[in-house]
Amino acid sequence: MLPGVPFSCLFFFLPLVWLLPGSLAGDPYVFFDWTVSYVSASPLGVKQQVIGVNGKFPGPVLNLTTNWNVVVNVKNDLDEPLLITWNGVQHRKNSWQDGVSGTNCPIPAGWNWTYQFQVKDQIGSFFYFPSLSFQRAAGGYGGIIINNREVIPLPFGLPDGDVHIFIGDWYSKSHKELRKDVENGADLGVPDGILINGFGPYRYDQALIPDGITYQIINVEPGKTYRFRVHNVGISTSLNFRIQNHNLLLVETEGSYTAQQNYSNMDIHVGQSYSFLVTMDQNASTDYYIVASPRFVNSSDWAKVTGVAVLHYSNSQGPASGPLPDPPNDYDKYFSMNQARSIRWNVSAGAARPNPQGSFKYGQITVTDVYVIQNRPPELIDGKLRTTLNGISYLPPTTPLMLAQQFKIPGVYKFDFPNKLMSRPPKLDTSLINGTFKGFMEIIFQNNDTTVQSYHLDGYAFFVVGMDFGVWTENSRGTYNKWDGVARCTTQVFPGAWTAILVSLDNAGIWNLRAQNLDSWYLGQEVYLGVVNPEIDATEVPLPDNAIYCGLLSALQKNQAQRIDFSGAESIPDVSKTIFFLLIFSLIGTLVR
Ligand SMILES: *[C@@H]1O[C@H](CO)[C@@H](O)[C@H](O)[C@H]1NC(C)=O
Ligand SMILES: *[C@@H]1O[C@H](CO)[C@@H](O)[C@H](O)[C@H]1NC(C)=O
Ligand SMILES: *[C@@H]1O[C@H](CO)[C@@H](O)[C@H](O)[C@H]1NC(C)=O
Ligand SMILES: *[C@@H]1O[C@H](CO)[C@@H](O)[C@H](O)[C@H]1NC(C)=O
Ligand SMILES: *[C@@H]1O[C@H](CO)[C@@H](O)[C@H](O)[C@H]1NC(C)=O
Ligand SMILES: *[C@@H]1O[C@H](CO)[C@@H](O)[C@H](O)[C@H]1NC(C)=O
Ligand SMILES: *[C@@H]1O[C@H](CO)[C@@H](O)[C@H](O)[C@H]1NC(C)=O
Ligand SMILES: *[C@@H]1O[C@H](CO)[C@@H](O)[C@H](O)[C@H]1NC(C)=O
């Protein structure tokens, strides 16, 4: 059986779509049983506790196709509450499944909770990760692929293989120690390494890299073309990704096909995902380096912090050696911005639907709401170090926003997030952006910090229409790309610079807008965007049956005393799968008769 693709799904998808055209042939379901637990690993030669999914670090890849229904039963075997968020999955009209503190009560240690969502009208490369308590710093992440439906052609030849690459800064300290440091205002300092797929660096330099570190080897065949899906899953370091002697043909980012262009390297900021086609067109006189090196850092201490993996052709003549391929010049501040601006949407490619991506002409739509959102470096508020957006540091309520809305509990949050920085002292608050349903919002992120920040919006893809150094003004709109700005879910904002995005508010719900940099996020750099459909929408997904209650609603929660043990996806028969299977057989039986 294919890992992660239960047979019930294949059965349903393959024969029944043919047998039952029309109403009975719903979108297929796929089921996953996950146990999230600590596992030990020594990525940098020091044994430490990391977070694994079904014992794996990084976790398993969710390999899906547009419109599939995904059911993931997550058992929390950590010693603290857990939520998994699906970075970039839009959960159409269903922020109940978003897995962030504003939408769901956390899954208590020892409990399980089943996520169920549809990957509606989406394609692309994304990743999931634990969203609470700095846990991503310990792992718990893995890839999400949403394949095109067969009726929709890829805008490039089918690659010969798919390679997932997770890059990220890494510390030997635990996520608990790291979050304590962040709370206390200690600088996290230089990471202990940059991991690639959970492994430390290849020993490209005997003086810098100690012996005995296990590194990632990517095995390839000469002449073939692979799709590399690269994600920055780290804490706060922007990374430059490159493969020695090989071009990176950019084809997709976070759910949009891009105009296809070759790059020799790409800056990938925290929380971003890219797909590149890489052709094995070299003579394999040696193996080749795959490198992820820190960007915009200015200290010799960082020299030894580089992620290095190995690209190994089956006919390779020997190990990689010599210096790593050069990074771009760190002091040319326009290099990275120009590279970001060069990433364009392929407006003639179809993605989730057959019509071209550019048939939605975002440049012609009237903007209904404008928010200029400024971040600042950490500052003291009520004696605690906090970060802010427009002077407000997000205060998570004990009752998640979605539950408070559903049960009409007053006073949990207010729709009063200011549309620009106000001249008043910074404060802690649960203040939401009031989004106009079916409106078209312009958001300008103005980064007043000294480091690159990336911002992510759940539930949506937004158009990145402009970025520049300096302070945004109304005149800056003259520079916007109104035609082929790429639609994605995470954008970088350079220090002392702004980035402008446009987003069509067609997805009702309460959606998290956050800094992806874990330290900024942890200290309060997030806000929720409420998009309320004023007409009662019958298709609105109601409160899930299995909702966990907490905060002001904790009295509604039954104890999960009888927890069912599933220690691995296939080991224990799953009742729902069996029922499903029986149903399908009886359906087939009926039809055959
Ligand atoms: C994902 O699943 C499809 C079948 O649905 C398969 O063709 C493909 O090889 C799988 N990809 C990965 C990376 O597992
Ligand atoms: C916990 O897992 C069991 C066994 O798979 C399942 O029946 C139950 O619905 C799950 N609980 C929740 C709250 O999702
Ligand atoms: C855009 O997509 C089309 C259609 O799939 C493809 O033929 C074309 O090569 C792509 N254009 C670029 C610039 O990548
Ligand atoms: C990208 O580079 C490859 C060689 O690695 C070349 O064959 C291809 O034509 C280039 N594609 C574009 C769009 O520049
Ligand atoms: C292979 O390519 C490298 C660099 O591109 C070159 O230095 C070397 O001579 C080539 N080796 C062979 C056997 O062609
Ligand atoms: C890096 O350090 C050098 C020397 O201390 C300094 O001149 C330069 O401005 C710094 N660059 C950045 C980007 O901070
Ligand atoms: C939110 O905005 C809508 C208009 O888009 C308005 O009708 C509604 O009263 C606002 N809600 C609050 C709580 O301000
Ligand atoms: C932050 O804002 C202050 C006050 O407006 C300004 O003086 C400073 O240059 C800004 N810093 C950055 C990095 O944008």
Q: Is 264 in the pocket of ligand 8 (CB under 6 A)?
A: no
Task: Using the atom order of ligand 8, give the atom closest to the CA of residue 496.
Answer: 14
Question: Which residue's structure tokens are 């590149």?
Answer: 276
For the Cβ of 260 lying below 6 angstroms from any atom of ligand 3, the answer is: yes
| Nearest residue by C-alpha to atom 8 in ligand 1 | 63
The whole-number pLDDT of residue 586 equals 43
Cα of 453 from ligand 7 centre, angstroms:
30
Q: Is 283 in the pocket of ligand 5 (CB under 6 A)?
A: yes
Q: Does any domain span residue 542?
A: no
Residue type, 155: P
Q: Of 311, 326, 341, which closes a domain?
A: 326
Domain annotation covers residue 129:
yes
The residues with which 574 forms a beta bridge, in sequence order, are none
- Assess whether 179 and 126 both reside in one domain: no
In a shared domain, residues 474 and 373: yes
Ligand 4 atom showing the smallest separation from residue 247 Cα: 5
Per-residue pLDDT of the chain (593 residues; tens, 9 = 90+): 344 434 333 333 333 333 333 333 589 999 999 999 999 999 999 999 999 999 999 999 999 999 999 999 999 999 999 999 999 999 998 999 999 999 999 999 999 999 999 999 999 999 999 999 999 999 999 999 999 999 999 999 999 999 999 999 999 999 999 999 999 999 899 999 999 999 999 999 999 999 999 999 999 999 999 999 999 999 999 999 999 999 999 999 999 999 999 999 999 999 999 999 999 999 999 999 999 999 998 777 888 899 999 999 999 999 999 999 999 987 788 999 999 999 999 999 999 998 999 999 999 999 999 999 999 999 999 999 999 999 999 999 999 999 999 999 999 999 999 999 999 999 999 999 999 999 999 999 999 999 999 999 999 999 999 999 999 999 999 999 999 999 999 999 999 999 999 999 999 999 999 999 999 999 999 999 999 888 765 556 789 999 999 999 999 998 875 555 555 443 333 444 444 444 443 444 344 33
The closest-lying atom of ligand 6 relative to the alpha carbon of residue 298 is: 1
The CA 471 to ligand 8 mean position distance, Å, reads 9
- CA 154–ligand 3 middle distance (angstroms): 9
pLDDT of residue 559: 81
- Closest ligand relative to 532 C-alpha: 7
Query: Which ligand has the nearest atom to the CA of 114?
Result: 2
Residues 293 and 197 in one domain: yes
171, part of any domain: yes
* Amino acid in position 195: L
CATH number at residue 452: 2.60.40.420
Q: Going by C-beta distance under 8 Å and a sequence separation of 6 or more, which residues neighbour residue 448?
A: 374, 375, 376, 377, 496
Are residues 236 and 293 both part of a single domain? yes
Q: Ligand 6 pocket: which of 298, 329, 334, 452 to mutate (most atoms <8 Å of CB)? A: 298
**30 located within any domain:** yes
Structural domain ending residue among the three candidates 275, 307, 326 = 326
User: Which of 275, 310, 326 is at the close of a domain?
Assistant: 326
Q: Do residues 476 and 436 share a domain?
A: yes
DSSP string, 232-282: E-SSS--EEEEETTB-EEEEEETTEEEEEEEES-EEE-TT-EEEEEEE--S
The answer to whether residues 343 and 258 touch, using CB atoms and an 8 Å cutoff, is: yes
Residues 201, 139, single domain; the answer is no
The number of domains in the chain is 3
Q: How far is the CA of 256 from the centre of ligand 3 (A)?
A: 12
Q: Is the residue at 67 inside a domain?
A: yes
Considering every ligand atom shown, identify the ligand nearest to the alpha carbon of residue 61 and give its number.
1
- Centre of ligand 2 to C-alpha 233, Å, is 29
Residue 576 pLDDT = 43
Q: Are residues 432 and 291 in the same domain?
A: no
> Which SS3 state, helix, strand or coil, does residue 69 take?
strand
Gap from CA of 499 to ligand 2 centroid (Å): 42
Q: Are residues 52 and 196 in the same domain?
A: no
* Whether 183 and 227 share a structural domain: yes
Q: Which listed ligand is nearest to 410 at the C-alpha? A: 7
Ligand 6 atom 13: residue of nearest CA? 331
Q: Is residue 375 part of a domain?
A: yes
Same domain for 317 and 168? Answer: yes
How far away, in angstroms, is 434 Cα from ligand 7 center? 6
- Residue 573's pLDDT is what? 39
Q: How far is the CA of 494 from the centre of ligand 6 (A)?
A: 16
Residues 171 and 138 both lie in one domain? no
Write out the residue range of the structural domain in which residue 240 sits: 161-326
Ligand nearest the Cα atom of residue 28: 1
In a domain, 544, yes or no: no
Statement to judge: residues 102 and 69 lie in one domain: yes
Which pLDDT value is given to residue 345? 98
Domain assignment present for 6: no
What distances in angstroms separate CA 349 from CA 49, 156, 345, 358, one per listed residue? 44, 10, 9, 8
pLDDT, position 17: 31
Q: Which residues pair with 414 in a beta bridge?
A: 431
Residue length of the chain: 593
Q: CA 403 → CA 81, 104, 398, 541, 558, distances in Å?
A: 18, 8, 10, 13, 16
